[in-house]
Structure 1
Amino acid sequence: MHYILTILLLTTCIYAKTADFSIIIDEKFNNALVDVAEDYDRSISAVGFIKKYKDASSNSSAVYTNAFDYLSSLSSSSGSQMHLVKVDNSADIVLRRSIDLSKFNEATSLVKTPQNGYFIGGHTLEGSLVLLKLDSDANKIFVKEFGTPNHDKMSKLVSLRDGGILAVGSSTASSSQSYDIFKNGLGLNDIYVARFSKNGTMLWSKKYGSYEDDAGVDAVEADDGSIIVLGKINKDNRLGATLMRITEHGDKIWLHEQLEDRGITPHRIIKLRDSAFAISLSQKDEMNKEQIRVIKIDLQKNILQDKTIHTTYSSVLKDIREYSDGRIVGVGYVQDSYDTDGLAMLLDSKFSMLLQEHYGSRDYDSFNALDILHDSKIAVAGVHTNQDSQETNMWLLKLNQDLSISQLSYKSTDFYSMLSELFRDEIQRGELLIKEDLSINFSDERLYFQVGEYKLTDVQKSFLDRFGKKLFTFLYENKEKIATLEINGHTSSEWGESDFSNSYIKNERLSMNRSFATLSYMFKSQNDKRQKWLSEILKGSGLSFSKKIVVNDTEDKERSRRASFKVLLLND
């Protein structure tokens, strides 16, 4: 496997990010991000957990008469806590909050609300299921603790069309059929499903299973409102997958078990654009290596496609999504004898592999979840282990469609600072001004045009040589972030005795000539490689006197006769 993650540790921060869109949040002990979603403001939110340890000094004076009492006192001293992270397009953390609950807990799933808030699902370490609704600033709206009298765990929250939420997980099997929600389960564990309204009211909760060991993994809502539940089963020491279709009220319509000698592990089910369903599984081959298997079924559990993707190393896709053109993107992990890396894979509509990439260091790294963003890039949440460390860290990154790591989107304020530093001497000499919108205007009177003139003077050419060398080199070094470089020509508003209409038209032509003279002179001074790149970003415009310089309600005609520049970034 190859390694293409470079980590730049920031000694003054608790997280590190690279020149690529890759953020590693390093907290004490083991931590992870388990789910991710795009926010309506185009930022990215991810949920996971961090480890918290209570101060043991408060009980230092306690006296215990036996070892069991002492161990009981320690049982609530350490554990996990749900943690939410939100980052902007520059990979800066804009919100980070641990969800303070009375019991230690772990998050397993994240769903966005129409108000740009969050539903977060998980479970306490004591065995209760938890559903939280947060506002856009991660303030708690409500917390629901629910489940059975037994030990329960949540696997996934599923967004429903009515704005409600479906919680899918597992519950230790009931010892009695007297429980109202009991549905045919006396095995080790059963599938547990609960439905909530958008306001957090539980509409129903039910258990499903066999006399074997069952657990809920995921679910998806069909077009008719019924629900397909994906589960796993351990029967006679064989691992398998279960598919169950239930009504919107939780009544079972059909159940299908998929058991094979080599064992199957289910990971995710999604609804496709053609209303069929794709299921991500993993299955061991004859060499005992996990291989990816993707199955497509219809609403009547007919298998439409069944594809095993053979890879050199053990590989698993823990989460999958469909692009608008039918391609499938998935993330998970790839493992050899030495380490585990995060895996990203792109499949065509027939589930044949198109691309795969591995990301990580020489220790344990894994991707847990993904979300396809509005621009078809991919947000990924997972875990990363620093070299020579035994503790996992939260990991959030963004991939392009070709599965390469996306570059950071710089803010205009970042570029403003860099341009201001680049032209610090020119600014101090009063030759130019740079604004935060990345516009550049000349302020030396020798750089203005004379009345009616557009041909460059020797002074203007000399300055443009120095200015262009700096500007074009800087922009070329940051070309992945540059959308356009505008070179605009301007005029003052007068034109002899002409009326307004003729004055504007004649000044428009003059301003275009000034733009062209400046653009062509600077362009011709570049080498072929630089010229080809500039041809893709340069935009020359004549603005007549629409942007004339006005000081104290009076036009400054001399300063209005100019050329100006403006940098537009790709994320503007």
Structure 2
Amino acid sequence: MKLTLLILLLFYNFLLHAKTSDDFALIIHKPFQSGLVDITQNYDGTLSVLGFTYDFKKQGLHANKTYNDPFAYLQSLSNKYGAKINLIRVNDKAQIIQSKIIPLTQFAKPASFVKTPTNGYIIGGYTMGGSQLLVLLDAALHLQRSVSFGTKNNNTIHKLVALKDGEVLAIGTSFTSRSTQDNMFQTGLGNDDVCISRFDKDANLLWTKKYGTQYDDQGIDAAEADDGSIIVLSTTHTKMKTAVNISRLTQNGDNIWLKEIPGNGFNEPVSLLRLKDQNFVISLVKTDAMHKKQIRLVKFDIYKNILIDSEISTTYSSQINDLREFSDGTLIGVGFVQDTSNTDGLAMIISKNLKLLKQEHYGGQNYDVFNKAVILANSQIGVAGIHTDENSNENNMWILKLNKDATIAQIAIDTLDFYTQLRQLFQKEIETKKVIIKKDLTIEFAAKNLYFKAGEYKLDKQQKKFFREFFTKLVNFLYTHRMQVKTLEINGHTSSEWENSTFSERFLNNEDLSMKRSYEAFRSLFLVQDPTKQKYLTHILKGSGLNYRNRIISDHRENKEKSRRVSLKIILNKHSRH
């Protein structure tokens, strides 16, 4: 009895964590620690992800080199191992089609990237030596140039922002320099200062400026307003609290206004998003009295007026690392949810008024987190993050595609694959010659008992029984691949005759009859589905009466019996491959 119970529990656990091979989820293992920090969609529909992997330098220390400075010796040791920037392209089959380690002389860690007008990339990050870094790649991922900038101390870039004119804004943090050769404006006022730099499309530095107080200030994120001004999200850390600040700058970086976001307790900003209504929303982490992280979203306008201040309470500690907006104004936030022993990737669907609509968790029994998201041309979401295998301490790169409802998307299949899978699904019906499936995804019902009698359109018992089973299997398949399916046509057909009628009467009567046959099959298909599938079908179903235009011709004669039928036609979206 105990053994049986154990087997059942193991089987149940398998069902909970099983992932079908059609899920668009890709884990990339590297020899050392690795992870992904950003994601974008290319002009050809593929995904590009930006990440890092750690590595050793092949060359060792020079055995005959003498180090008089102990700090130089320690730096030479630290430079033997570090992070390298890795850019990867993935197709709609979740296959890696290109992977490039960026050849830099120093170890460097990426933070963000943007596409260039010529299909290349500008990558922002920082070197292990403490400099801010900008890297320009062409469309083939060849290194065009790299630029190190900032003061001589610890500098980081947190975010790159693509501007409307093709230029790029880098926002980050720069530790104050105390060099007597730097003026106060360049060195900053406190320990850390907000550092903002603007570059042209070729990664040439246009200007760089610092902003801050006598305390520690950090630049978190930025966005371009419709008028070209810049909205900045930053923090000021004092002994007493962390202040969350928003500010507005001119295109040249001059301050217009500064506002502290009010709030009780400990609030830490994470990201900033410009909305389609020209307002802005920031994602914050609010730590409650039980030290549990909760999500706070604040919407404000360009004049620093707070429009909505919403808190999303969850059972476990949660954080949104990135926010994106769909065309209908709803949002998706990605991040992580964490309990005492496990961290999972988190996807949240959020309404226009910043209320939680739905959430999904992804991951195993270890550490998994979503870092960035991008909304794709077909309204799916590309997600980049970190996955840790069970019983492992090494992080790995993690790429997923989600549907608009935050469920995991399926790998795109081309027309031929779709045809093959459809034939496999209905292999029994094809072998018994009840169904014919053509390569153009037309489905014909060939069994004699599935044809209609002359002048009739109501389904009899045999037709109802067959269609109930067939339509249930078909719709389950279409729903699984719903991002590839554009339309399911249900077409009614007739033979060409109509007794004792004129040509006009014959045509119009058959037109009416074909539409009625289409509707009866349409109704039969719809009513056997659950509410979720019914809602889905309202977006893809199309009923048509085709009269006798597609009547069956055998040996140069009309086969009237076979012409009295219904047929189906599946039409795939344009992004599905042919």
Judge same fold: TM > 0.5, yes or no: yes
Residue 168 of structure 1: how far off its partner (Å) = 0.8
Aligned to 2:145: 143
CA RMSD of aligned residues (A): 4.8
| Kept after mapping to 2: 8 A contact 1:509/1:542 | no
Distance of aligned partners of 1:60 and 1:172 in 2 relative to their CA distance in 1, 3 Å threshold: closer
Q: Which stretch shows the higher mean deviation, 419-428 or 296-305?
A: 419-428
| Kept after mapping to 2: 8 A contact 1:184/1:210 | no
Once residues 316 and 204 of structure 2 are traced to their aligned partners in structure 1, the CA distance between those partners, rounded to angstroms, is: 46
Aligned to 2:372: 369
* 1:201-251 superposed Cα distances (whole Å, 9 cap, x missing partner): 322112222332222111112233221221223223633333332211112
Distance of aligned partners of 1:181 and 1:436 in 2 relative to their CA distance in 1, 3 Å threshold: farther
- Are 1:83 and 2:87 an aligned pair? yes
Once residues 180 and 275 of structure 2 are traced to their aligned partners in structure 1, the CA distance between those partners, rounded to angstroms, is: 37
Equivalent of 1:131 in 115, 130, 134 = 134
Once residues 181 and 549 of structure 1 are traced to their aligned partners in structure 2, the CA distance between those partners, rounded to angstroms, is: 87
- Are 1:98 and 2:97 an aligned pair? no
| Kept after mapping to 2: 8 A contact 1:181/1:207 | no
Structure 1: unaligned runs, 5 residues or longer: 9-16, 496-501
Letter in 2 for 1:83: L
Distance of aligned partners of 1:292 and 1:205 in 2 relative to their CA distance in 1, 3 Å threshold: same
Once residues 175 and 74 of structure 1 are traced to their aligned partners in structure 2, the CA distance between those partners, rounded to angstroms, is: 24
| Kept after mapping to 2: 8 A contact 1:156/1:169 | yes
3-state SS in 1 of match to 2:365: coil
Residue 156 of structure 1: how far off its partner (Å) = 0.3
Aligned to 1:529: 528
Aligned to 1:243: 246
Once residues 351 and 517 of structure 2 are traced to their aligned partners in structure 1, the CA distance between those partners, rounded to angstroms, is: 50
**Identity level (%):** 38
Letter in 1 for 2:83: G
| Kept after mapping to 1: 8 A contact 2:496/2:510 | no
| Kept after mapping to 2: 8 A contact 1:4/1:360 | no
| TM-score, structure 2 as length reference | 0.75
Residue 299 of structure 1: how far off its partner (Å) = 3.3
3-state SS in 2 of match to 1:52: strand
Distance of aligned partners of 1:40 and 1:209 in 2 relative to their CA distance in 1, 3 Å threshold: same
Aligned to 1:478: 477
Write out aligned runs for 1:269-284 (5 A): 269-284=272-287
Once residues 232 and 14 of structure 2 are traced to their aligned partners in structure 1, the CA distance between those partners, rounded to angstroms, is: 37
| Kept after mapping to 2: 8 A contact 1:50/1:82 | yes
Once residues 347 and 565 of structure 1 are traced to their aligned partners in structure 2, the CA distance between those partners, rounded to angstroms, is: 37
Once residues 144 and 303 of structure 1 are traced to their aligned partners in structure 2, the CA distance between those partners, rounded to angstroms, is: 40
Distance of aligned partners of 1:184 and 1:277 in 2 relative to their CA distance in 1, 3 Å threshold: farther
Distance of aligned partners of 1:185 and 1:468 in 2 relative to their CA distance in 1, 3 Å threshold: same
| Kept after mapping to 2: 8 A contact 1:31/1:51 | yes
Once residues 181 and 556 of structure 1 are traced to their aligned partners in structure 2, the CA distance between those partners, rounded to angstroms, is: 93
Distance of aligned partners of 1:152 and 1:493 in 2 relative to their CA distance in 1, 3 Å threshold: farther
Write out aligned runs for 1:431-470 (5 A): 434-440=437-443
Once residues 486 and 358 of structure 1 are traced to their aligned partners in structure 2, the CA distance between those partners, rounded to angstroms, is: 35
Once residues 142 and 556 of structure 2 are traced to their aligned partners in structure 1, the CA distance between those partners, rounded to angstroms, is: 56
Aligned to 1:417: 420
Distance of aligned partners of 1:84 and 1:431 in 2 relative to their CA distance in 1, 3 Å threshold: same
Write out aligned runs for 1:498-509 (5 A): none
* 1:170-209 superposed Cα distances (whole Å, 9 cap, x missing partner): 2221213643793461432222211122333322112222
Once residues 233 and 65 of structure 1 are traced to their aligned partners in structure 2, the CA distance between those partners, rounded to angstroms, is: 44
Once residues 420 and 157 of structure 1 are traced to their aligned partners in structure 2, the CA distance between those partners, rounded to angstroms, is: 48
Residue 393 of structure 1: how far off its partner (Å) = 1.9
Once residues 142 and 363 of structure 2 are traced to their aligned partners in structure 1, the CA distance between those partners, rounded to angstroms, is: 35
Q: Which stretch shows the higher mean deviation, 320-329 or 210-219?
A: 320-329
* 1:484-542 superposed Cα distances (whole Å, 9 cap, x missing partner): 444557899999xxxxxx79x96897698689779969997x89626997996765656
Letter in 2 for 1:86: V
Aligned to 1:252: 255
Q: Which stretch shows the higher mean deviation, 486-495 or 393-402?
A: 486-495
- Are 1:567 and 2:566 an aligned pair? no
| TM-score, structure 1 as length reference | 0.76
Residue 167 of structure 1: how far off its partner (Å) = 0.8
Once residues 230 and 490 of structure 1 are traced to their aligned partners in structure 2, the CA distance between those partners, rounded to angstroms, is: 62
Residue 483 of structure 1: how far off its partner (Å) = 5.3
Aligned to 1:12: none
Residue 368 of structure 1: how far off its partner (Å) = 1.3
Aligned to 2:224: 221
Once residues 491 and 358 of structure 1 are traced to their aligned partners in structure 2, the CA distance between those partners, rounded to angstroms, is: 51
| Kept after mapping to 1: 8 A contact 2:46/2:89 | no
| Kept after mapping to 2: 8 A contact 1:491/1:507 | no
Aligned to 1:382: 385
Aligned to 2:17: 6
- Are 1:336 and 2:339 an aligned pair? yes
3-state SS in 1 of match to 2:417: helix
Letter in 1 for 2:123: I
Residue 62 of structure 1: how far off its partner (Å) = 4.4
Equivalent of 1:193 in 174, 191, 196 = 196
| Kept after mapping to 2: 8 A contact 1:45/1:87 | no
